[in-house]
Every structure is written in structure tokens, then in C-alpha cells.
Amino acid sequence: MTRHVMIVGCGRLGATAATALLDRGDRVTILDTDAENFRRLRPRVRLSMYVGDGTSHEVLRRTGIESVGAFIAATGRDTTNALAAQSARTTFGIEHVVCRINDPTRSEMYERLGLTTVNPNQLLIELVLNAMEQL
Amino acid sequence: MYVIVVGAGKIGFYLTRELLAASHEVALIERDAYVSATAAEEFGSILITSDGTEPTVLGEAGAERCDILISTTGQDATNLTACQVAKYSFNVAKTMAVVTDPDHVPLFRALGVDVTISTTELILSHVEEELTGGPFVHVLPLRGAASGIVSMRVPSGSPVVGQPVSRIKLPQGTLLTAVIHKSGELKPAVNDPELAADDAIVAITPPEKEDELWHALTGEARR
């Protein structure tokens, strides 16, 4: 089943997620405030790239948020991600929203508020701890 | 009251000064070292140079016993996060955020920000008043209610000039609270003052009744 996913932030996480989703056959719309960051992606048929602020409702609307089925907030800033993700969920009613939160003390709060958060640092720490137990 | 102010820019700086003058206890949090150094000259030890969106920082600032947190930075995302952390991690009773993008106002309300201050909307309503000599000035949206406090001036040709307040046919759900004479004298509506041209009225009204209120006070359709 082809999904349409919107990603805010074309850093390493956003770009890698976009590539993985495209490889699975999904459609991807990706936003970043800096066009330079799109160098991480090569042009693909089902990929749309826009320069714009993913916390602006006007930008989200113009780039087609109303037709996506899932939303990923993947910039390097927790506050930006939290605003973008909560806009997607509350203002635009997107059902599947994932939000990158680096600060573990905040991600716990967002989880309580019903946001699905991903903490790359936490994941890495768990992997390192697991690896150490194998030693 | 104990107030935490996030952001020591123009708004945060002068707000803190006013709050201190009114004998409130204040902590001011500013992330930028340069901005913070300027504010430190004025405020000394109540200034914390750190990120006011981080729970550890708010915890150290005493967020548990804080009565109100006001986030005044120029970044909507920062202001939302500071308010949400205060409300949902420290149970701060009241949170206020400055909102730059007017589109964010309803979202912030839905996400737990008790009071939003939209600088754009405030300035715009004053511009409208200056330019057209009279539509509504939206003084304050009321928290949790579908109504707001508005103000407008009674034009000289209005049919209500010379009439007591009680004779005005107000729209349903609208409360006229006071009349301010152009001399500055405040006349409570309960005293049923007579309206004069150029009096300003202060009313509480739902947004959808604004056109009707305008019509009642001017005799004309709102442009």
C-alpha cells in the first residue's frame, strides 16, 4: 500500500527516512528551511522537496499536508519538531505523527500528551549498553 | 506572585521590570549569553542564563512553586515548548505565550497555553483603528471562552448618541461593560450613562456578533 508521508527537516535523519520510505514505494514530501540540505537526496519520481518552514501552517497547507497520511518531524531542534508535529496532529488532524525529541526529559512529557516521539540519542545509548553486555 | 519569564528580549526585559516594580517575585531566563549580559546589569541574580525550554532549567528556577510562566521569545516553537513543559511537567497554574504567527493562536490554546498574546494581531487592530477611525480594537481574547474584550469608538452620526446605554439593542451574548468619555473619564455601564460622540465603549462579545455590535453602535453595516 502506497502511503504519502510528509517529513519536516532534511538532515541526516529526515533524508535517511525519506530514502527508506521511497525505497518501500511510499510517496514523500520533504521540507527544509535550507535548500543546501536537499543535497542529501537524489531526485526521485515520488519525491517532492520544498524550501519552507515546517512550523508555518500556511507552508504546510501549500505543500499539501491535507493529503498526507503520516508526518515526521525530524529537524535537529526539539522545539521546532514539537510545534510542527503538534500542528500536524491538532491543526491538520494527521493520524500518524512521529516527532524527534533529543531531550529525554521532554520526550517523556510529549509521550504523556499522546505524541509518538523518537529519541535518537536514547536509541544509541541503548544499543551501546546492549553491545557492552555482549562483551 | 512568583513569575518565571522566559526570554530577556525587548518584551521580556520590560515585562520583568514592570513585574518587579509591582513587587512580584521574578526569575528571568535567557539562553543567549550576550542578551543575558545586558539584562544582568539591570536584574542581577534573578537572571538565569540557560535554555528556558529545558525541564532541568525550569526545575532549578523553581517552576514547582511558580504561579505563572510567561514565554516572550521571538520564536513561537520556543514559547510553546516552555509553556507546555511548565504546564505538564511542573503543573504551573497559568501559562502565557507571545505568538508571532497568528495562525498558531488556536493551536497554542488547544495545546495548553492559557493566554496567547499575538503581537501581530494587537498591532494590526490598532493600525485598523488608526486608519479607518473606528473598527474594533480587540483588547483581549478571554481564556477558555468564545468571547473577547473589544473596544470601539462611537461615531458622531450614530443613532445611539444622546441615548442611555440601556437603550442600545445589543446582540445576544454581548455585554457592554463601560463607556470611556474622550476626556478619559470612565463611566461604568451599570450607572446607565448617556452616550456622546467619540465615547469609547468596552464590551465583551463573541467574534461572530462583532458585526451586529458594530451596527448597533453606528447604525451602519461594518465594512
Please write the tens of the pLDDT for every residue from B112-140. 999 999 887 787 777 666 655 566 677 77
| Distance in Å, alpha carbon of A99 to nearest chain B alpha carbon | 13
- What pLDDT, on the 0 to 100 scale, is given for residue B135? 62
Residue pointed to by grid coordinates 470601539: B152
Chain A hits for B91, CB-CB cut-off 8 Å, are none
Q: Assess whether B142 and B108 both reside in one domain.
A: no
* Claim to verify: residue B16 and residue B101 sit in the same structural domain: yes
Q: Do B77 and A58 touch (CB under 8 A)?
A: no
Which residue of chain B has the CA closest to A80?
A: B77
**Could you tell me if B36 and B95 lie in one domain?**
yes
Measured between alpha carbons, how far is B196 from B183 in angstroms, rounded to an integer?
A: 11
Over residues A77-120, the pLDDT tens digits come to: 999 999 999 999 999 999 999 999 998 889 889 999 989 999 88
A113 contacts on B by Cβ (under 8 Å): 84, 88, 111
Q: In terms of domains, do B31 and B109 share one?
A: yes
Name which of A79, A86, A113 is nearest B78 (Cβ-Cβ): A79
Q: Are residues B100 and B184 in the same domain?
A: no
Given a cut of 90, whether residue A133 has pLDDT beyond it is no
- Residue B35's identity, in one-letter code, is V
In what order do the strands lie in the sheet containing B2-6?
A: B47-49, B25-30, B2-6, B68-71, B94-99, B115-118
Residue B167 and residue B81 share a domain: no
- Is residue B124 included in any domain, yes or no? no
Letter string b/e over residues A19-39, b meaning 16 or more CB atoms within 10 A of that residue's CB? bebbeeebbbbbbbbeeebbe
Q: B107: distance to nearest CA of chain A, Å? A: 6
ipTM of the complex: 0.86
**pTM tops 0.80:** no
Cβ atoms within 10 Å, residue B199: 23
**A90/B111 CB distance under 8 A:** yes
Are B12 and B96 in the same domain? Answer: yes
> Do B162 and B97 fall into the same domain?
no
- Neighbouring C-alpha atoms within 13 Å toward the C-beta of B189: 16
Q: Does B39 share its domain with B72?
A: yes
The answer as to whether B223 is a domain residue is no
Same domain, B85 and B151: no
What is the mean predicted confidence (pLDDT) over A18-28?
96
| Grid-cell match 528571568, residue found | B28
Same domain, B90 and B113: yes
CATH of the domain at B147: 3.30.70.1450
Beta strands in A27-67 (DSSP E): 27-32, 47-51
Question: Under 8 Å CB-to-CB from A69, ≥6 apart: which residues?
Answer: A3, A4, A5, A94, A95, A96
Count: domains in chain B = 2
* Residue B150 Rama label (left phi>0; alpha psi -120 to 50; beta): beta
Residue B6 lies in a domain: yes
- pLDDT, position A17: 96
CB within 8 Å: B84 and A113: yes
Residue B43 belongs to domain with CATH number = 3.40.50.720
Provide CATH code, domain A4-134. Answer: 3.40.50.720
Chain A partners of B101 at a C-beta cutoff of 8 Å? 55-57
Closest Cα in chain A to B59: A105
Please tell me which residue, B43 or B210, carries the higher pLDDT value: B43
Q: Are residues B81 and B88 in contact, defined by beta-carbon separation less than 8 angstroms? A: no
- Residue B152 inside a domain? The answer is yes
- Candidates B20, B18, B22, B16; CA nearest to B35 is B16
Per the structure, the complete domain to which residue B175 belongs is given by 133-218
Please report, for chain A, the start and end positions of each structural domain, with discontinuous segments joined by +.
Answer: 4-134
Distance from CA of A105 to the nearest CA of B (A): 7
Answer yes or no: is B145 within a domain.
Answer: yes
User: pLDDT digits over B30-57, tens only?
Assistant: 999 999 999 999 999 999 999 999 999 9
Cα distance between residue A12 and residue B163, in whole Å: 69
Phi, psi of A4 (to 5 degrees): -115, 120
Residues in chain A with CB shorter than 8 Å from the CB of B110 are 90
Across the interface, of B54, B101, B103, the residue whose CB is closest to A103 is B54
Strand partners, B29: B6, B48
Contact list in B for residue A87 (CB cut-off 8 A) is 104, 107
Q: Are residues B52 and B151 in the same domain?
A: no
Nearest to B53 among A55, A79, A90 (CB): A79
> Helices (DSSP H) in chain B: which residue ranges?
10-21, 33-43, 55-60, 76-90, 104-110, 119-132, 210-218
